[in-house]
Amino acid sequence: MFRKILIANRGEIACRVIRTARRMEIATVAVYSEADREAAHVRLADQAIAIGPALSVESYLRIDRIVEACLASGAEAVHPGYGFLSERADFAAALAEAGIVFVGPGPEAIAAMGDKIESKKLASRAGVSTVPGYLDVVPDAEAAISIARDIGYPVMLKASAGGGGKGMRIAANDGEVRDGFHSAASEARSSFADDRIFIEKYIEEPRHIEIQVLGDAHGNIVYLGERECSIQRRHQKVIEEAPSPFLDTATRAAMGRQAVALARAVDYRSAGTVEFIVDRRRNFYFLEMNTRLQVEHPVTELVTGLDLVELMLRVAAGEKLPFGQDDLRLDGWAIEARIYAEDPTRGFLPSTGRLVRYLPPAGKGVRVDDGVYEGAEIGIYYDPMIAKLVAHGADRDAAVDRLCDALDGFYIAGLQHNVAFLAAIADNERFRRGALSTDFIAEEFPAGFLAPTGFVPADRVILIAAALAGCRIRECEAAIDGRLPGLHGAIPADWTILLGGKMHAVAVRANGAAYEVEIRGERLTVATDWQPGQVLLRIVGEGATATVQIARLSAAAFRLAHRGIVRRAQVLSPRAAELLALMPEKKPPDTSRLLLSPMPGLLSSIAVAPGQEVKAGEALATVEAMKMENVLRAERDGRIAAIRAKPGDSLAVDEVILEFE
């Protein structure tokens, strides 16, 4: 086994690899950019080497610097994680030339699978079923239209060099093919410096199900079951699980056999993933093979009991796989949710800032893979994933329950994040039934992630939490008042809670260590150990518990969150309720005539000019942040009065870009 390895990555995956290496008593070397001087992976590794400026192309993508760092530190092998250099055949080759082991497949296998057109051809020769389509480069938009008509609508235009959901467009008619061809090609050119496009059938009601494979250098290849990753946004995975609620034993075995056949065709060693798209009749078609460790590998680890990083290291060191296909047993169910620094209430725009509070959940069946800490800065340079939350249970219901509960208890403050959105998905009735498809998010959240209006079940829990908080705060004040008599008087039992523009009456009476709560005609006995200042309020009822996130906004106003419902609530004692009724409400400034930058970023272009009429939905400007182009669109019809910023400007959040008349 290696004595020392270098991890050519950052964030949660670098930390994940370091943890396993440490357990195996292998010394670790981290590499870092100027932006990552204080990063978690740098702190965790035994040794850390600076490799350049913040921009990835000048640091994490610099093959020469990483090879130098290996030679300087004496690292014998490199684990590439995912993203960055993990699927670059030239990286694997450069390491080999320097006598360093690449923890992954051989450069030939990476190259063969790196191109979607070539890998589809190879797969179809290996007897793997592929999506019907046209297996060559499409020269222009007109050719694309005639090919699309032959295949039959709908079709998918894809960049051959694509990855990370980029360079991909669905088209249902000739016009959409023409537009899609140009936009996919230009996205592919800017993301991958390669604008080759091909076309395949768009599989309707698709489910993304992938097979984890693992091979050694002695010709042994096994598959470790499947993962379903159908909960996606813009073709990027959001929630993944193992096993898939959709597969039967026969389909699973057939997919596993084909995945192994494909891996064998390229002499695959190490961990890899063969991705399939599955239609409603369980026909499955090969999409691509990812020749690396996948983001969602923890769900496979939890159901197989294996450590994939350890196995990758053992295989890279020349060891044989310690088991065969028949030795594998799957146990229970695992689900992973990706926690991103993004604002689901504002079109999922990336968010940056300091993690002022960061309290990941813990407990039985809960695993958190992260690469951050409280006080860390989430910048604009890299992937906005903060952490992965993984829950394991005996069956799907148990795993989903655990995930929901862990999400309720995952507290992040200082920047926008998607925890509430993930909780809303996990608590969604259709998700619970396992009726998944890659259209799930678009269908279940057609207007984006908006706080539901009206009273939903989570509101009951939120009201109880708010009343308990009001009560506990007064109890603490009373304890102090005991020394300064007569300040506040008795603790009231009847509270009025302003929530969603409505008043709700909640009565709370202390009864020993518990509270008798009366709400909406219902009586219940609950307990809580919450203290003012704590960000999680646990309610223990008879037979059930609930966790509510609570942040105090002012003396009696709170922001509360439970099961994806985020509310502002004002807790009023009878006297305060009377006073509030006399106070005029303060109005926020009117910004409806301004286009504001929704995030910090670079203004890359403005699509309109003063005096121009625009229609709702029309593109106004493009802001680039976190390597994503975010098109800002008109919310309603209007005329442009003035442009207040110019392309190339770096914008702060809420900076004015233009004004409407």
Question: At closest approach, how far in Å is the CB of 458 from Mg ion?
Answer: 34
Q: Which amino acid is at 194?
A: D
313 binds, among Mg ion, ligand ADP, none (CB under 5 to 8 A by kind): none
Helix axes 11-23, 308-316, angle to 10 degrees: 70
Q: Are 436 and 422 in contact (CB under 8 A)?
A: no
Rounded to an integer, what distance in angstroms lies between the CA atom of residue 128 and that of residue 361?
41
The C-alpha angle 469, 472, 474, rounded to 5 degrees, equals: 110
CB atoms within 10 A of CB 451: 14
Closest CA to 119 of 242, 240, 289, 250: 289
Structure tokens at 299: 């769900």
Q: Which residue is catalytic, options 288, 296, 301, 336?
A: 288
Whose Cβ is closer to ligand ADP: residue 388's or residue 567's?
388
Positive or negative: CA dihedral 85, 86, 90, 94: positive
Whose Cβ is closer to Mg ion: residue 195's or residue 275's?
275
Closest CA to 387 of 407, 408, 365: 407
Buried b (16+ CB within 10 A) or exposed e, 468-478: bbbbbbbeeee
Closest CA to 365 of 331, 412, 329: 331
189 binds, among ligand ADP, Mg ion, none (CB under 5 to 8 A by kind): none
Whose Cβ is closer to Mg ion: residue 276's or residue 348's?
276
Buried b (16+ CB within 10 A) or exposed e, 39-50: bbbbebbebbbe
163 binds, among ligand ADP, Mg ion, none (CB under 5 to 8 A by kind): ligand ADP
455 binds, among Mg ion, ligand ADP, none (CB under 5 to 8 A by kind): none
3-class DSSP string for 218-229: CCCEEEEEEEEE
Rounded to an integer, what distance in angstroms lies between the CA atom of residue 546 and that of residue 185?
49
Question: At closest approach, how far in Å is the CB of 211 from Mg ion?
Answer: 13
Q: Are 386 and 408 in contact (CB under 8 A)?
A: no
Question: At closest approach, how far in Å is the CB of 441 from Mg ion?
Answer: 17
Alpha helices, H only, 427-516:
429-433, 440-444, 457-481
Whose Cβ is closer to ligand ADP: residue 95's or residue 277's?
277
Cα-only R_g, the chain: 27
Question: At closest approach, how far in Å is the CB of 62 from Mg ion?
Answer: 25
232 binds, among Mg ion, ligand ADP, none (CB under 5 to 8 A by kind): ligand ADP
236 binds, among Mg ion, ligand ADP, none (CB under 5 to 8 A by kind): ligand ADP
Whose Cβ is closer to Mg ion: residue 187's or residue 275's?
275
Residues 275 to 334 in contact with Mg ion, rule: CB under 5 A: 275
The strand pairing partners of 515, in sequence order, are: 510, 526
Closest CA to 397 of 440, 432, 441: 432
Which stretch in 92-100, 180-188, 269-277, 488-496 sits in contact with Mg ion by CB under 5 A? 269-277
The H helix count followed by the E strand count for the chain is 17, 39
Question: At closest approach, how far in Å is the CB of 165 from Mg ion?
Answer: 7
- What strand order describes the sheet that includes 77-79? 47-52, 27-33, 4-7, 77-79, 101-102
Rounded to an integer, what distance in angstroms lies between the CA atom of residue 82 and that of residue 398?
29
Whose Cβ is closer to ligand ADP: residue 300's or residue 416's?
300
In total, the chain counts a number of residues equal to: 661
The strand pairing partners of 208, in sequence order, are: 277
Contact flags string 224-243 toward Mg ion, x per CB under 5 A: --------------------
Which stretch in 142-150, 273-281, 377-385, 636-644 sits in contact with Mg ion by CB under 5 A? 273-281
Whose Cβ is closer to ligand ADP: residue 540's or residue 628's?
628
Whose Cβ is closer to Mg ion: residue 288's or residue 427's?
288
Closest CA to 228 of 394, 437, 442, 432: 437
Question: At closest approach, how far in Å is the CB of 629 from ligand ADP?
Answer: 13
Residue facing Mg ion at closest CB distance: 275
Question: At closest approach, how far in Å is the CB of 288 from ligand ADP?
Answer: 5
Closest CA to 209 of 287, 269, 129: 287
Which stretch in 89-97, 141-149, 268-276, 295-303 sits in contact with Mg ion by CB under 5 A? 268-276
Angstrom CA distances, 207 to 18, 84, 323, stand at: 33, 27, 30
CB atoms within 10 A of CB 251: 18
Whose Cβ is closer to Mg ion: residue 129's or residue 605's?
129
Whose Cβ is closer to ligand ADP: residue 83's or residue 492's?
83
Question: At closest approach, how far in Å is the CB of 422 from Mg ion?
Answer: 20
Question: At closest approach, how far in Å is the CB of 288 from Mg ion?
Answer: 5
206 binds, among ligand ADP, Mg ion, none (CB under 5 to 8 A by kind): ligand ADP
200 binds, among ligand ADP, Mg ion, none (CB under 5 to 8 A by kind): ligand ADP
Q: Which spans of this chain sit near ligand ADP (rule: CB under 6 A)?
A: 82-83, 131, 156, 162-165, 168, 191, 200-203, 206, 208, 232, 235-237, 275, 277, 287-288, 290, 294-295, 383, 438
Question: At closest approach, how far in Å is the CB of 286 from ligand ADP?
Answer: 9
Closest CA to 233 of 398, 451, 385, 392: 385
Is 629 one of the annotated active-site residues of the chain?
no
472 binds, among Mg ion, ligand ADP, none (CB under 5 to 8 A by kind): none
202 binds, among Mg ion, ligand ADP, none (CB under 5 to 8 A by kind): ligand ADP
DSSP 145: H
State the catalytic residues.
288
Instruction: Kindly list the residues in this chain that would bind Mg ion in the complex (CB under 5 A).
Output: 275
